[in-house]
Amino acid sequence: MKNTSKAFKANKTAMVLLILGLSTIIFPLYLTIVIAFKQPSEMTTSISGILSLPKTWSLNNFKEAMQVTDFWNSLRNSMVISVLTVVLSVLIHSLMGYTLGRNKKSKFYNFVYLFIVSGMFVPFAILMMPLAKQTAELGLANWFGVILLYVVFYMPMNVMLYSGYLVNIPLALEEAARVDGASTWRTYWKIIFPIMKPMHATVAVITALAVWNDVMTPLVIMAGSSQNTLPLAQLNFQSQFGTNYNLAFASYLLSLIPILIFYLICQKQILNGVVNGAVK
């Protein structure tokens, strides 16, 4: 009876925490959807006016938001930057994580690992002005320079994740491959890289979300250019005297769709077996 009572209390506590957690997501999402479909005349300062449903559900805000942000051009720039950053991050950071993770017993490799991971503690505000000047002098004040910076910025976190994940991969797999005559390079690409598929998906989601929603890096590096990303284009809704929340929230919903689809695809990969590659 005591065990049953404890289990019931634990389940009840978990349900309360789950409901509280869902409310922090559902309530802002509800506000975003409601305001995006409302007309400016329906917006009032009262709580009931903000929370109430639109009198007429119209797509006019979405159409106008797409025109103001030059949606398709901005979407293309965001997609190019995000996709190339994710691909380069998975390829480069996984290789670095493998190299450093398998050689942590070496003082040199351990120092390099700690040096790279320490980059997580350097705030972007310190690097902002020097990077803006250097990228301008090198002719990298464009989306290529932004991608290069993203690959460097997210290197510490991704290398740490890949190195930690290697603990779950037994060395026996690599030793068996070496006995069969496989080189280190071939062992990595044919055995280790496929096994790390769940971590690839995790790194891809974390990196893509950060890049997709980032404003500061494109704003500092590509300031004055016509290569706007979606977050940069959405700054058009803010003026000196206020913000057009109806158009802004409509634009936020539009920009949410691509990254949400990407997250759902990668989530399916994360839920796959960790050792699928080893079995194959």
For residue range 111-152, what is the model confidence (pLDDT) as tens digits?
999 999 998 888 887 888 888 888 888 888 888 889 999 999
Q: How high is the pLDDT of residue 274? A: 37
**125-131: Cβ within 8 A, 24+ apart:** 128/216, 128/220, 131/220, 131/221
> pLDDT above 90 covers what percent of the chain?
17
Q: How high is the pLDDT of residue 277? A: 33
Average pLDDT, the chain: 81
Q: How high is the pLDDT of residue 278? A: 35
pLDDT, mean of residues 21-32: 82
Q: Is the dihedral of CA 45, 50, 55, 58 positive or negative?
A: positive
pTM of the model: 0.82
pLDDT higher than 90, residue 91:
yes
